[in-house]
Amino acid sequence: MSSHGTSDSGANAPVTPTQFGPYYLQELINSGGMADIWLATNQKGEHFALRRLRDTSFFNFTARKRFVRGCEILSQIHNHDCVIGYVEHGKIAGSLYLLMEYVEASNLKQLFARDDPVLAENIGDILIDMAVGLEHVHDSGFMHLDVKPENVLVSRNARVRLVDFDLAQPKPEKPRKSSDNPGTPAYMAPEQLLRQPFDHRVDIFAYGVSAYEVLTGKKPFVGDTPDEILRKQLDRSLDFIPPRELNPDIPAALEKCILKCLERDPDKRYPYMSVLVRDLRAALYV
């Protein structure tokens, strides 16, 4: 997993490592939602990222179920350069945990916020690798359902890892409704916000939102509520700005890829990530 490179990441860390089963929790890397991520070592001194569901989530059965499902899905799809490496998952002293590879990295949102040269110098490769990672997830039979810059780790040498599969679900043969509708509204496709049947093409939409945001510094559809975001997705005349108007350095062919990802009608989007990957490579001469 990642070291997020923030100066206060060690503030909450214990002075002496805390033992957790066969592992030693050395430093708190990140806290988010229901879980904490620790830099952990084993008896051999090997480094891992250990994600542990907080005890406060004990009676949050939805969180527990998602955590375990995310672990199980990652265990099936991790064998890919653009997906975080899986080691094991289970329960120690009643706490659910996931052990992953440790990568010195920051997420895309952090890189962007601090104007990191890694992003500026490698943006084309990063966008392609994100798409290649998602292509692998889909080819493995799953949808990520939480594609956003926070869930894309980028190492110092610009290697990409997709993370956080808690919301992932099996990819349906044809669009289907979901009983729960998880996700982050700013990155959700119109059919999700409308609670209509959906399929893997919602990930393609979320990829388009993420690429737009990373390239322009703004989200394409801004709103304080899911309804407001949906209204702007459905009526592009409100205040949608094509990405090249915000950043003229974006190649026209890349803008075309992003706009196709952002089509409100899923049938007008890319049908598969593989087609998007092909067009991105052509647009970026990679």
Q: Are residues 46 and 140 in the same domain?
A: no
Q: Are residues 97 and 136 in the same domain?
A: no
> What's the confidence (pLDDT) of residue 260?
98
**pLDDT > 50? residue 9:** no
* Count of alpha carbons within 13 angstroms of residue 26, beta-carbon side: 12
Amino acid at 81: D
Which of 101, 117, 133 is the last residue before a domain boundary?
101
Q: Are residues 29 and 109 in the same domain?
A: no
- Catalytic annotation on 146? yes
Strand partners, 92: 95
Q: Are residues 88 and 140 in the same domain?
A: no
**pLDDT > 90? residue 286:** no
**pLDDT > 60? residue 2:** no
Q: Are residues 97 and 166 in the same domain?
A: no
Contact 5, 76 (CB under 8 A): no
Q: Are residues 58 and 109 in the same domain?
A: no
Residue 58: which pLDDT band, with cuts at 50, 70 and 90?
low
Q: Are residues 9 and 127 in the same domain?
A: no
Percent of the chain surpassing pLDDT 70: 94
> What's the confidence (pLDDT) of residue 4?
44
Q: Are residues 163 and 96 in the same domain?
A: no
Q: Are residues 198 and 82 in the same domain?
A: no
Amino acid at 244: R
Which listed residue (36, 129, 146, 279) is catalytic? 146
Q: Are residues 47 and 141 in the same domain?
A: no
How does strand 142-143 pair with strand 35-41? unpaired
Count up the domains in the chain and report the number: 2
Residue 6: which pLDDT band, with cuts at 50, 70 and 90?
very low
Q: Are residues 95 and 112 in the same domain?
A: no
CB-based contacts of 152: which residues, under 8 Å, 6+ apart? Answer: 107, 108, 126, 130, 160, 161, 162, 163, 210
Which of 70, 101, 132 is the last residue before a domain boundary?
101
pLDDT digits (tens, 9 = 90+) for 133-192: 999 999 999 999 999 999 999 999 999 999 999 999 999 999 999 877 778 999 999 999
> What's the confidence (pLDDT) of residue 151?
96
Task: Find the mean pLDDT for residues 21-25.
Answer: 96
**CATH number, domain containing residue 92:** 3.30.200.20
- Cα distance between residue 44 and residue 5, in whole Å: 25
C-alpha dihedral sign at 242, 244, 245, 246: positive
Q: How far is CA 244 from CA 142, 213, 215, in A?
A: 32, 12, 9
Task: Find the mean pLDDT for residues 198-211.
Answer: 98
Q: How far is CA 60 from CA 34, 68, 71, 158, in A?
A: 9, 13, 17, 36
Q: Are residues 20 and 74 in the same domain?
A: yes
Range of the domain at 44: 2-101
Which of 101, 128, 153 is the last residue before a domain boundary?
101
**CATH number, domain containing residue 245:** 1.10.510.10
* Count of alpha carbons within 13 angstroms of residue 234, beta-carbon side: 11
